[in-house]
Structure 1
Amino acid sequence: MATPDFVLALRAKIGNDPLWLMGVSSVVLRGTQVLLVKRADNGAWTPVTGIVDPAEEPATAAERETLEEAGVVARATAVTWIHVIPPITYSNGDVSQYVDITFRCDFVSGDPWPADGENTDAAWFELDALPDMEPDMLERIRTAVEFDGITHFER
């Protein structure tokens, strides 16, 4: 997975120590379908995810990541879930932990494809025919699909 330059600069100073980052998940909906990408690092199907750049608005990051990773233009319309992901230890020993902001996004245009090398596939899936996915990723989709105007917070 591509590591943002600002993270590399921080890692040069802190080494493998835990790094707190802000991430976004883009649950892009088109009628009864959701956009998913198949990650190159572990083969898992997920909504588009990514790291928010310094000073970047999270909704802008969600839209940018969708275009960069899947070649799809989407519009973030709602924050559906905010939660903290357990710490992740990467193969090089780096430890990161993310606060994830899940956005419900509307499809605008484009045909999905693995646009930036972080994924091996990108496709639309019917909501009632999703591939096997981690429970956390399914919850991101559920909160976006069932969004009733109230953002879900972990307590």
Structure 2
Amino acid sequence: MATPDFVLDLRQAIGTAPLWLTGVTAVVLRDDETTGATEVLLVRRADNGAWTPVTGIIDPGEEPADAAVREILEEADVVASVERLVWVHVLDPLTYSNGDQAQYLDLVFRCQWVSGTPFPADGENTEAAWYGLDSLPELGGSHAQRIALAVAANVGTDAVFEGGHPA
């Protein structure tokens, strides 16, 4: 995965010590032109081969919704618009293969496809494709939950939360 310059600069100062970062998950939806069924945009990560919605780190001073739109275009060559924020949650701490440690506050956005054919545009992914909600590939972590919350008709940031998770 491409690491933003500001993170590389921080790493020069702190080494592999834990970093608290803010990221976005962009769940991009569209209706299939033939069947009308809802589809979700997924990318296959180059670093671990996992299928996920588009994710990325918010740049300093960048609006989170703008980061979601930017990441969609950079990673999948798709233009989309943000409809709403659907979940704010903390991901488990992780250690990358080079020893860098990080933990993310993840802002999940429901997005609507505007134009473009998915393509792994920036080298962070090896594939980009639309999947029907009833034929998703195996998804790790909380990615299935992120998609489910984005698809749900009336779930949003005003949903009832218990213990940090949507009720």
Q: Same fold (TM over 0.5)?
A: yes
* TM range, smaller chain: over 0.9
Provide the secondary structure at the position in 1 that maps to 2:111.
Answer: strand
Q: Which residue identity is paired with 2:101?
A: V
CA distance in 2, matches of 1:90, 1:43: 15
Give how far 1:150 is off: 2.8
Q: SS at the partner of 2:16?
A: coil
* Structure 2 unaligned regions, length at least 5: 32-37
Q: Distance in 1 between matches of 2:7 and 2:156?
A: 32
| Residue of structure 1 in register with 2:6 after alignment | 6
Give me the CA root mean square deviation. Answer: 1.1
Alignment equivalent of 2:125, drawn from 119, 137, 147: 119
Residues 95, 135 of structure 1: alpha-carbon distance in 2 compared, 3 angstrom cutoff: closer
1:59 equivalenced with 2:86 (yes/no): no
After superposing the two structures, state which structure 1 stretch, 144-153 or 108-117, moved more: 144-153
Q: Contact 2:84 / 2:156 at 8 angstroms: preserved in 1?
A: no
Q: 1:125 to 1:95 in 2, by over 3 A?
A: same
Aligned sequence identity (%) = 63
- Partner residue in 2 for 1:108: 114
User: Of the candidates 132, 137, 147, which is equivalent to residue 138 of structure 2?
Assistant: 132
List gaps (5 residues or longer) in structure 1. none
Secondary structure class of the residue paired with 1:8: helix
Is 1:38 equivalent to 2:44 in the alignment? yes
The two structures have a TM-score, normalised by structure 2, of 0.90
Please give the alpha-carbon distance, in whole angstroms, between the structure 2 residues aligned to 1:7 and 1:22. Answer: 11
Equivalenced residue count is: 155
Paired amino acid for 2:29: L
Q: Is the 8 A contact 1:80 1:147 kept in 2?
A: no
Distance in 1, Cα, partners of 2:60 & 2:69? 16
What is residue 88 of structure 1 aligned with on the other side? Answer: 94
Deviations 1:88-116 (A, max 9, x none): 10011100000000000000000000000
One-letter amino acid of the counterpart of residue 52, structure 2: T
State the one-letter code of the partner of 1:30: R
**Offset at 1:47?**
0.2
Task: Report Cα offsets for 1:33-57 as digits up to 9, x if no partner.
Answer: 0000000011000000000000000
Residue identity opposite 1:141 in structure 2: I
Alpha carbons 2:56, 2:71 under 8 Å: kept? yes
Max radius of gyration: which structure? 2
Q: 1:147 to 1:73 in 2, by over 3 A?
A: same
**What TM-score, normalized by structure 1, do the two folds share?**
0.97
